[in-house]
Amino acid sequence: MTKSEALELLSEKIEAMTALQMAGSLINWDAATLGVPKKSLPARSASMGWLEGEHFRYFISADTLEAIETLEACETELSEHEQLMVRELGLEYRKLKAVPEEEVEAFGALVAEAQPVWETAREKRDFEMIQPYYEKILIYQRKLCDWYGYENHPYNALLNDYERGANVEMLDGFFTQLRKSIVPLLKKIIEKNNQPAEIKGNFSVEKQKELTAWLVKMVGYDLSRGKIGEVEHPFCTTITRNDVRITTKYHEDNVLSSIYSIIHECGHAIYEQNMAAELDKYYLGDCASMGIHESQSRLYENMIGRSRPFAAQILPELRKSFDFFADWNEDMLYRAINVAKPSLIRIEADELTYALHVMVRYELEKALISGEIEVADLPKLWADKYEELIGVRPSNLAEGVLQDVHWSAGLFGYFPTYAVGTAYGVQLLNTMKKTVDIDKAILNNDLSPITAWLTENVHKHGKMLTPAEILEKATGEPFNAKYYVEYLAEKFTDLYL
């Protein structure tokens, strides 16, 4: 195979995978926004399965490897984009090939089976029901560590899969700092018992939708290159580079829910919308990592959306739409959108405690993978850790160990990206504010200086840089958790102590 034949072949593969991925994304969007007729599920799953399988078959074929190896052998003759394309495809190819095909299939069937069992187990608060599935899934995850390979701790193999370069050493350091600073801070806040007024009332969905329109404009999500849908569990999905869609859910009794889910998904979408267009054909038009993706959504959601100037800007909008806010002032709102109190459910946790919820899962996963603990130990250890770190103990398994879908879906090593991503976000913000007047941008209802900085330093690079490279290039130093810890300490001390 010549160099140009190899490039041509990979380009064809990428074209095929792009088309299959677009189809898959649209099928999922359609299901989430419109629902699937129950009787249509089997045929739909069969076709979806074929499309996913085809994606895999297209990529994992002998000629792909030959092309990758051909290009690796003449790396210096390639453009930078081509080199990185070969690096990405090579990593992906070898990762997929590392796992025996029959194991992939068996595991796919296992998690498909586990999914409804987890739902029922959670409903019935019955751990024994899901336990054998968790055990089988864990066995596979442990094998996965060996197949992928690792240095030092086996969990590193899984961490690295979702967050390139992440490892136990880095995360232990990160969570140790958090524990040292945030756990005592939370205790002090609880003792002080100085809680903000609660936002509770009846908020018309129609009015919430108007607020959504204001929000996406304010935040800078380009609606002419996307759409907004309503779903049960909000997400962001990329159909094409110029069709990046966000979703939300409206609750009549909770106006903050849709506001912050919208800002969060806008953060994801703005990242996707601003990747350099030329990356797509090199298979580089994708996020650097899950953590970097989360850094963008959390930066917009928390560091901007829960800031004091943002409270000042959104208050008149809220007043316009909802009588509830008639007597509210900026300070009350700023406090109300920054609750800080112990809670049991991760996805409802506030900014201060969120990473502690992740820490519980991180420590349990690490110990499960290394064999220090077993699945049967989870319910008690989970409750103990919540009590130790957050100061609350679940009264049942649905608000305890059975609350997350991840383990039954076979996702081990994923949770830490949520916390690390948030910390990336603060580190980026910390550098950004040296050259961008963030408060002024917010007070102008125009975040474009912020988005421009993020586009230049994060978005446009897509997958060309690793998470570590992005941080190093943008902030001049490697990942450093202290910015996040200091940010939380400062913000919540100021608010509550």
- Active centre residues (catalytic): 265
CB-nearer residue toward its own copies: 204 or 445? 204
205 binds its own copies (CB under 8 A): no
Q: Of these, 51, 256, 436, 468, which contacts its own copies (CB under 8 A)?
A: 51
CB-nearer residue toward its own copies: 125 or 225? 225
How many residues make contact with its own copies (CB under 8 A)?
A: 35
226 binds its own copies (CB under 8 A): yes
61 binds its own copies (CB under 8 A): no
- Which of the stretches 222-230, 323-331, 360-368, 399-407 binds its own copies when contact is defined by CB under 8 A? 222-230
379 binds its own copies (CB under 8 A): no
Q: Residue type at 300?
A: Y
50 binds its own copies (CB under 8 A): yes
Q: Of these, 4, 76, 193, 224, which contacts its own copies (CB under 8 A)?
A: 224
CB of 36 to its own copies, least distance (A): 7
State the binding string over 242-271 for its own copies (x if CB under 8 A, else -).
xx----------------------------
232 binds its own copies (CB under 8 A): no
Q: Of these, 1, 60, 129, 239, which contacts its own copies (CB under 8 A)?
A: 239
CB of 349 to its own copies, least distance (A): 33
276 binds its own copies (CB under 8 A): no
Q: Say which residue the tokens 């939380």 belong to.
A: 488
CB of 59 to its own copies, least distance (A): 14
CB-nearer residue toward its own copies: 51 or 373? 51
> Within 405-464, which residues bind its own copies (CB under 8 A)?
none
- Which of the stretches 38-46, 255-263, 301-309, 486-494 binds its own copies when contact is defined by CB under 8 A? 38-46
Q: Of these, 27, 117, 312, 436, which contacts its own copies (CB under 8 A)?
A: 27
Q: Say which residue the tokens 């109190």 belong to.
A: 341
Residues paired with residue 425 on neighbouring β-strands, in sequence order:
none
CB of 264 to its own copies, least distance (A): 22
- Which of the stretches 33-41, 167-175, 359-367, 431-439 binds its own copies when contact is defined by CB under 8 A? 33-41
Distance from C-alpha of 204 to C-alpha of 453, rounded to nearest angstrom: 36
22 binds its own copies (CB under 8 A): yes
CB of 48 to its own copies, least distance (A): 8
Q: Say which residue the tokens 């095909």 belong to.
A: 101
Residues at the site binding its own copies, with contacts judged by CB under 8 A:
15-16, 18-20, 22-23, 26-27, 29-30, 34, 36-40, 43-44, 46-48, 50-51, 54, 224-227, 239-243, 280
